[in-house]
Amino acid sequence: MAPLCAHVIIAKNCAACGCAKLAKVSKSERLNIPMPRVKRAFDLVITPGGIRRRVIECRTAIYRCEHCGQIMAPAEQYHRLAKHFHGLMSWAMYQHVAHRLSGGTIEEMLREFFGLTVGNEEIHMLKSLMARYYSKTYRHLIQKILLGPVLHIDETQVKLRTGKGYVWVFTSMEEVVFMYRPTREGGFLQEMLKDFRGVLVSDFFFAYDSIDCPQQKCLIHLIRDMNQEILNNPFDEDLQSVTQPFASLLRTIVTTVDTHGLKRKHLERHSGEVDEFFNVLSALSFRSEPAQALQDRLMKNRNKLFAFIHHNGVPWNNNNAENAIKRFAYYREDTVGIMREKGLNDYLVLLSIYQTCRYKGISFLKFLLSRERDIDRFCAGNRSPRRRSAIELYPKGFIPPHLVTLRKPKISQPPNDSSTIGDDR
């Protein structure tokens, strides 16, 4: 396998006494001492002109400590040397998250394009490592969304190997965060949103009702339900006496939105009409059950249907969250019942970053390749030039799965997920 880049792993201090006076042991002296150990690492170098493989051969130097006489090789760096570097991991996760390619397909592409053997299990490991690297980005996205003026929320079911669970999505206008929860119970939202000061946009799922902040319900959901009721009860005049005034009120307001955007200054002019609508509605009484039910629903949500007219930049629908969750739904189709929680959580970290990049109109691949962990700083282009080291190490405590049985460490955090990237299909 050529060409190779050679790299020597050096030590700065003696492993036994900590002394910095180390002398390299020459070849002729090495008869009875351990040979330098060699490992290969793999990377992909991606440029506008093409993608090429880089193989880095890393060899440990052998030292004698001038203080205590200990003969040693830099073991820690050697053990922690990553087999796959960031460029290769970025390329693989770009294929997996942006193009939904399975582990098996990525494995085959790496073999066919680059002559690299990266097993499915290793691809899971790459996902886990990348999720770990970008966990800071993920936390930052959550913070940013919770500090923002508007938060869209939605949830959907997911079938895991161990049973069903739920994936929640939280979005601002530009940031997206997906989160797995084992149940659909909304209790965690109270805690999570306790300091949120903006407007919450959601559908009519009851778990959102008790959250203490201004709320805007998705009016597209409401209109869809109204239309269905009209189809179910085509001759119900009572029902139409509710839906028609509602539709004409909303039409007037949407016309203002189309002309001026989501600006409170212009939208608040409609607050009189909104009050009038609810005052008239509350005084009506119906014999028709669907009309009564709709009346109850509208009155119950009175403060949550037109909240957007009292704020700047709050949409009257939940498209931002629903579009984001669609991305997850595509992935879900590919992995029904074969995912585990750990693998799903890793995936959701990367999907959150992918979807945020899309909403911000930046390249997910370029963001990954930059190694930057702050998306806003990446967007602004004022990244601090970080000196790239010639080699890359696994995080402390991480043992790659292919070495777990060899090393049997006391603390190991192998990505024990062997399914989430999906079977080869």
Residues that bind Zn ion (CB under 5 A): 14, 16-17, 19, 65, 67-68, 70
CB of 165 to Zn ion, least distance (A): 53
Nearer to Zn ion among residue 13 and residue 292 (C-beta): 13
CB of 29 to Zn ion, least distance (A): 17
The angle formed by the CA atoms of residues 315, 318 and 324, to the nearest 5 degrees, is 120
CB of 31 to Zn ion, least distance (A): 21
What's the CA dihedral at 43, 47, 50, 52 to 10 degrees? -20
Tokens of 294: 């709709």
- Of the candidates 220, 215, 222, 219, the residue with the CA atom closest to the CA atom of residue 150: 215
**Hey, what amino acid is at 249?**
L
Nearer to Zn ion among residue 6 and residue 19 (C-beta): 19
**Tokens 């659909």, residue?**
184
Nearer to Zn ion among residue 21 and residue 111 (C-beta): 21
Nearer to Zn ion among residue 13 and residue 233 (C-beta): 13
3-state secondary structure labels for all residues of the chain: CCCEEEEEECCCCCCCCCCCCEEECCHHHHHHCCCCCEEEEEEEEEECCEEEEEEEEEEECCEEECCCCCEECCHHHHHHECCECHHHHHHHHHHHHHCCCCHHHHHHHHHHHHCCCCCHHHHHHHHHHHHHHCHHHHHHHHHHHHHCCEEEEEEEEEEECCEEEEEEEEECCCCEEEEEECCCCCHHHHHHCCCCCCEEEECCCHHHCCCCCCEEECHHHHHHHHHHHHHHCCCCHHHHHHHHHHHHHHHHHHHHHHHHCCCHHHHHHHHHHHHHHHHHHHHCCCCCHHHHHHHHHHHHCHHHHCHHHHCCCCCCCCHHHHHHHHHHHHHHHHCCCCECHHHHHHHHHHHHHHHHHHHHCCCHHHHHHHCCCCHHHHHHCCCCCCCCCCCCECCCCCCCHHHHHHHCCCCCCCCCCCCCCCCCC
Nearer to Zn ion among residue 6 and residue 17 (C-beta): 17
Nearer to Zn ion among residue 18 and residue 115 (C-beta): 18
Nearer to Zn ion among residue 66 and residue 289 (C-beta): 66
Distance CA 314, CA 308 (A): 5
CB of 33 to Zn ion, least distance (A): 15
CB of 20 to Zn ion, least distance (A): 9
CB of 25 to Zn ion, least distance (A): 13
Nearer to Zn ion among residue 71 and residue 192 (C-beta): 71
CB of 11 to Zn ion, least distance (A): 11
CB of 393 to Zn ion, least distance (A): 23
Nearer to Zn ion among residue 14 and residue 145 (C-beta): 14
Nearer to Zn ion among residue 67 and residue 181 (C-beta): 67
Nearer to Zn ion among residue 65 and residue 126 (C-beta): 65
Distance CA 91, CA 114 (A): 12
CB of 35 to Zn ion, least distance (A): 20
CB of 18 to Zn ion, least distance (A): 7
Question: CB within 8 A of 354, min separation 6: which ones?
Answer: 97, 98, 327, 364
CB of 407 to Zn ion, least distance (A): 24
